[in-house]
Amino acid sequence: MRIGVLTSGGDCPGLNAVIRGIVRKGIRSHNASFVGIRDGWRGLLEDDMFDMSMLDVRGLSGRGGTILGTSRTHPYEGGGPERMREVMAAHGIDAIIAIGGEGTLAGASRLVAEEGLNIIGVPKTIDNDLGGTDYTFGFDSAQAIATEAIDRLRTTAESHHRCMVIEVMGRNVGWIALHAGMAGGAHAILMPEFPVSFDQIEEWVTSARDRGRAPIVVVAEGFIPEGLDEQVADRGVDNKGRTRLGGIADFLAPKIEEITGIESRATILGHLQRGGSPTAYDRVLSTRLGMAAADLARNEDWGKMASLKATEIVSVDMASAVDSLKSVPAQRWEEAQVLFG
């Protein structure tokens, strides 16, 4: 079997470890051969690819980014499925393993269901917002980076008796904010799933100040503050028309200073959360998901994706995984609030 591998959408730590897991398992256990497809669906549509051996994936476990490159090209652009069939036939490719998040896997699921293409999925996103899997690789690394940033900002906040407002990624869910905020001892965590009034923010911040602490507020980029009807997005849209979130910390910091009288500063972590080496957890999870994807391709389980359930790697339907965003449940929000203020 000859298998094409692509990475699509936003980059994150662990992508290279997945590629390594796929290629090593596929060659050693299934006698498969592999084609690396550059820049996601673009490479498949434009015939930009190369033969990939075990030598090409040597030493990739701890390397950030993706050796294949990535893009947000839509699979139905530039000739769409018909063009994909032509390119796959020209290279003798029997199947595709698509590594990506909600957009990538939604496109892959549609290509399987409507076009009959042979595709396996691997769930990737730092946001941890995909259904069908307990965790996505990249999330642990992102929350670890955010936690370290909180730890570092706390020392300067305490030195100057300031409130620090730290903005993390996550788009429309608050998983990174929740986990990094809890790990970093934040005095308030603000997430898109749960509206919070300025009165409540003031109470948490002043309570921390009154106990002699420098208040730490962690906010997810998709949080909508009181008085606004939509998310703060001061960076326009990308070339696909998708809103570039970011700037909520810059919006909140002066508001918090105004209502509490505490000098406040904003820090936006941004793409720092996507870069660098993956954590040990993400390296292991990525490798296991990659090996499982190679098995799914060998078994011709098209339309499936490798998934983490508890500690086991299983397969689930891609279509069910992208039905809806996996939001932070109310139970986790209620659990965290006892730590605030």
Annotated binding-site residues read: 10, 72-73, 101-104, 125-127, 162, 169-171, 221, 265, 271-274
What span, in angstroms and rounded, lies between the C-alpha atoms of 131 and 225?
26
Q: Name the active-site residue from 11, 39, 127, 295.
A: 127
**CA–CA distance from 316 to each of 120, 123, 131, 277, 303 (Å)?**
10, 11, 10, 28, 9
What span, in angstroms and rounded, lies between the C-alpha atoms of 154 and 214?
7
Strand partners, 167: 219, 268
Binding-site positions for substrate: 125-127, 162, 169-171, 221, 265, 271-274
Helices (H), 9-130: 15-30, 41-45, 80-91, 102-115
Is residue 136 within 8 A of residue 173, CB to CB? The reply is: no
First to last CA, the chain: 58
Helix (H) or strand (E) holding 161: none
Q: Residue 240: left if φ>0, alpha if ψ -120 to 50, beta else—which one?
A: alpha
**CA–CA distance from 91 to each of 75, 95, 227, 307 (Å)?**
18, 11, 55, 29
Q: How many CB atoms lie within 10 A of CB 257?
A: 17
Residue 127 designated active-site = yes
Q: How many CA atoms lie within 13 A of 100 on its CB side?
A: 32
What is the amino acid identity at position 326? K
Could you list the active site residues?
Answer: 127
